[in-house]
Structure 1
Amino acid sequence: MPPVSLAQLALRTNLGKHELWERLHVRDLTESEAEAVAPELRREGATRPIHWHLVPGDRVLRRELHDAYGGSIQGGIIASSRFPDLFVFTDPERGARHGYDLYERLMPDGSYTYTGAGQEGDQAFLRGNKALLESAQRGQKIRLFRQEPRYVTYVGEFATGTPAYELRQIPDRNGNMRTGIIFKLIPVSADPTLLATADVSSAVATESAWTAPSSTDVVATGARELAAGRRISRREFELQRSFGEWLTRQGERVSVLSLPVDGTIITPDLYVSSRSWIVEAKRSVAREHVRTAIGQSLDYAHVARMHGYKAKPMILLPGAPTGSLTDLVRTNGIALAMQAGAGFSVLTPDAPLA
């Protein structure tokens, strides 16, 4: 029989793990040892309000979780009349027959896309889906767990992102396509690496040759979705293509990196290996876009260096930003590439201002 962890004992007694450690001075117990000490500890815990006792990485029996906090032991989105938080359980591998594996994954931006409840027919905002959608306005914490047979691993506290959801086409258990609700969950206090799938956990960094994308890769709505779930506008797509072709004509070596990090894979827009530039493109010179690009380009360069690549951050824009933004980019050690007519101008951090 598996040992009983302090996390499990905390659920059984409503006493904190640190307090249990101070009393017992053990990290886990046999089931018989736990049964021997539990009655007295449980009597003391019963005099206290119910507290949240788990931290990310704690693995407990799902039955014990619901014994402590209430709610049904079945289902993926669970509310309880005994505890204010909302419990969400993810098991995309097991849910593949219901189409849950198509979009349920850790995203490069750190969010987690979660497929709503409903195994047949179009999913609707009823019961658990409604509760998850309205969790933010109620101030309700989302407790996300990774499900396995009998046990669950606590990933951490999440909240709905912006937008809170998207509607996508997914198959049901009979293979019929239906509308699915894909929630966007963002970590508040969590360890998202616990959500990594086996293929991502074992992935290695790769570099592949860049080729100019076909115009058929751009959809009529003005945006397309990348394999990693990231979206790119038509303007940004064309900007990347023009820059890549311009670099190639200049004799530069252009490639694409795939970089595993923290349970997901990030793919910078371009990697100019001959210059060590790692490029993040934005479709606008607006402050919002430039500020976002600064963080992304620095992150990409940092992760690339972790994998042994020489990497200098670069931002690609369709024009010149304002002077204050240009200065902000340069003071952060980031190169700036700006479209200028049929070509591009490049401003490196150490280049003198005109």
Structure 2
Amino acid sequence: MSTWLLSCNPKKFDLEGHRRDGHLLSSWTIARYVDEVAAGDEFVLWVAGENAGVVAYGHLSGPAEYGQPDPSYWAEDPGPRHFVPLVVDKWLDLRVPKRRLVDDPRMSGATILRQPFAGSPHRLTEEEWLAVREAIEVSEVADPGWDLMPGEEIRRVDLHARFGGSSQNGIAPCSATDNILIFTAPSSGHQHGYYDTWNEDGTFHYTGEGQSGNQKMVRGNRAILEHSQTGKRLRLFDGARGTVRYLGEWTLNPDVPYTEDEAPATGGGALRKVIRFHLVPVKATVTAPELPVGQNYVAPDENVAPAPATPSAPDPDLVGRNLSTHRALQNLLAAEAQRRGHVALSPDVSDPDFDLAWRDTEGRLSVCEVKSLTPANEARQLRAGLGQVLDYQDQLRERAPEVSAVLWVERQPSEPRWVELCQRVGVTLAWPGQEESAFSG
């Protein structure tokens, strides 16, 4: 069995557009080794250009054939060519950058580096294949060079000494490591028009850099936008100076990576355009068991005008009529918890995005998801709420010896089976008038 590197010139074939339009990549044109490629051979897919690197891996599903490729995504009609059928096993979320392979002595003889314009495919030796696979593992799993845990604090000067990047900017791409360090600090950011926001669906909107004039997609802003193409991980920190707290690894929302908004310039100047990056956590942002859960409860405003409902809304309970009801239910339950002597909690930035939690007088933790109900959305809301509260409970088990799960809804469900279902999976389902059930666990 042979191993290959298939190369793509983005100026000739629009691979990104092909994927964006939902097409399945099932073959690749080749110019060499036509009689040697075979079913079962493994391959990696390389994209050339400014951010050259490995973007996918898979296996060949047959021998080479000859025919006319679909010219749709080619800059020019390629004409009849040899091609090899294939299956992509994985598209990488983070590209393996060329520089990572250039620095590996096992790749010193690789033809993709010595003769990058040679026709596809490039044969990889056993050593070269091992080097590429190890580099892919670094991109797919945890970076072995990163040893900070979410919730851990570090002096910013020490952070940059270990990982690189400028200590003066809110966005600090690191040339020595595959990281982009980004810092959020409301106390200092607001004076420059940086209004970063934590959203109820667990996402984070981060304002780009540029204190005056319209922000542009250059320097640090461009580094964030292209982080997956350059193979760099986004590392978010709370604080800008002195000691900062690591808030985990994040990535851009693939559907809406950023939007443009308006904000005042430094010192309250005229409104200008700012870039708002839409970040989502790569995984649960907390792994440190000793990190406390939650912060003192912050009651959401029940009277805020809700955004209109949209088909793409991440949670139907957080738009339209449901938002006001949701917040009222949540605030009433929090008030009841406090009346009983419990400590009501809102999620901190490092917590899973629960609606409400509380610690009772004996220190036991309960986590709660709140859902409004209408006849039209009842089943959907109950399914969603049950899944969410089980997820929160599972994440918090590392940080609390016992975690009770509560699903608090607007009214009694029309089908009694929901109560029994929740009981079977260890979740208390309750509604106004059933407060004793909610707090008895």
Contact residue 259 and residue 267 of structure 1 kept, 8 A = no
From the superposition, tell whether residues 328 and 179 of structure 1 become closer, same or farther in structure 2 (CA, over 3 Å). farther
Question: How far did residue 66 of structure 1 move?
Answer: 4.0
**Counterpart position of 1:87:** 181
Residue 140 of structure 1 aligns with which residue? Answer: 232
Judged with a 3 Å threshold, the aligned counterparts in structure 2 of structure 1 residues 127 and 149 are, in CA distance, closer, same or farther, namely closer
SS of the counterpart of 2:318? Answer: strand
How does 1:286-297 map onto structure 2 within 5 Å? 287=380, 289-297=381-389
**Percent identity for Structure 1 against Structure 2:** 24
Cα deviation for residue 173 of structure 1 reads 0.6
Give the Cα separation in 1 of the matches to 2:173 and 2:189.
20
SS at match of 2:196: coil
In the other structure, the counterpart of 2:407 is 313
Match of 2:218 among 126, 151, 168: 126
Deviations 1:194-223 (A, max 9, x none): xx9xxx9996348x8x99x66xx5457348
Aligned equivalent of 1:54:
147
Deviation digits for residues 153-185 of structure 1 (CA, Å, limit 9, x no counterpart): 444333334654454443221423333314324
Distance in 1 (alpha carbons) for counterparts of 2:226 and 2:154? 28
1:103 aligns with 2:196: yes
Superposed CA RMSD in Å reads 5.5
CA contact (8 A) 1:280 1:296 kept: no
Return the match for 2:346 from 226, 247, 260: 260
For 2:81, the equivalent position in structure 1 comes to none
After superposition, what is the alpha-carbon deviation per residue over 1:100-151, rounded to whole angstroms, capped at 9, x for unaligned? 2x3345x565544422212123333333222213324554311223444355
Corresponding position of 2:273: 179
Q: Distance in 2 between matches of 1:262 and 1:147?
A: 14
CA 1:158–1:311 in 2, change beyond 3 Å: closer, same or farther?
closer
Provide the residue aligned with 2:371 in structure 1.
Answer: 281
Instruction: Name the residue aligned to 2:361.
Output: none
User: Structure 2-normalised TM-score?
Assistant: 0.42
Could you tell me which residue of structure 1 aligns to residue 425 of structure 2?
332
Q: Is the 8 A contact 2:371 2:382 kept in 1?
A: no
Unmatched tracts of structure 2, length 5 or more:
1-142, 311-315, 339-343, 359-365
Whether 1:234 aligns to 2:326 is no
**Are 1:221 and 2:312 matched, yes or no?**
no
Q: 1:210-242, CA deviations, whole angstroms, 9 ceiling, x for partnerless residues?
A: 99x66xx5457348xxxxxx9821142476599
Distance in 2 of aligned mates of 1:103 and 1:135: 19
The one-character-per-residue Cα deviations of 1:87-112 (angstroms, maximum 9, x if unpaired) are 21233222221122x3345x565544
User: What is the CA distance between 1:72 and its match in structure 2?
Assistant: 3.0
CA distance in 2, matches of 1:253, 1:60: 36
* 2:214 counterpart letter in structure 1: D
1:222-264: CA deviation from partner (whole Å, max 9, x where unpaired): 48xxxxxx982114247659999xxx9xxx9996986234457
Query: 3-state SS of the aligned residue for 2:147?
Result: coil
Show CA shifts across 1:252-306 (max 9, x none). 999698623445797849x9xxxx996622573465x544311445659x99xx9
CA distance in 2, matches of 1:149, 1:321: 54
**Residues 155 and 192 in structure 1, CA contact (< 8 A), matched pair in contact too:** no
Task: Give me the whole-angstrom Cα distance separating, in 1, the residues matched to 2:224 and 2:415.
Answer: 40
Larger radius of gyration: 2
| 1:157 is aligned to 2:249 | yes
SS in 2 for 1:142: strand
Query: Shift in Å at residue 74 of structure 1?
Result: 2.6
Secondary structure in 2 aligned to 1:93?
Answer: helix
Return 5+ residue gaps in structure 1 as ranges. Answer: 1-49, 224-229, 339-343, 350-354
Q: 1:109 to 1:67 in 2, by over 3 A?
A: same
**Whole-Å Cα distance in 2 between the matches of residues 320 and 135 of structure 1?**
48
Indicate how the Cα distance of structure 1 residues 316 and 160 shifts in structure 2: closer, same or farther if over 3 A, else same. Answer: farther
CA separation in 1, counterparts of 2:146 and 2:326?
48
